[in-house]
Amino acid sequence: MVLEWVRAGHRDPLFLSGDQPADLARKHAEIAQGFLTWAKSAGFAYETVKAEGGGAGYEVHWTHRGASFVGFKQPPPESTAEDALLAGCAALIQNDWCRKQLPK
């Protein structure tokens, strides 16, 4: 989902276009960074943190122009910080309000 959003024709359609699907599965951090270029310009910032609740894992906390979100559906924790960031980017795109803040 995140890769498709970045690759939209008016954004960066050639982003990682030479990579095979198997290679893309190992490039979660790079895919997330491609999205963050756009998200940062819209005022979004993130912090990757250890998940609370005793389980091992990471999650992403988002802010918009310094304000935390209320009612933002967070994805479940992921085992790596890179996977958590990609899941967090996907959650941002899925949220109607957040998606409207992103560059078209």
Checking if the pLDDT of 89 tops 90, the result is yes
Measured in residues, the chain has a length of 104
pLDDT value of residue 54: 63
pLDDT value of residue 25: 86
Q: What angle do CA 33, 97, 99 make, to 5 degrees?
A: 35
Total-model pTM: 0.89
31: number of Cβ within 10 Å: 25
Checking if the pLDDT of 73 tops 90, the result is no
- In the chain, what are the domains? 2-101 (3.30.160)
Q: Are 71 and 62 in contact (CB under 8 A)?
A: no
Checking if the pLDDT of 70 tops 80, the result is no
pLDDT tens for 10-34 read 899 999 988 888 888 889 999 999 9
Task: For tokens 């967090």, name the residue.
Answer: 88
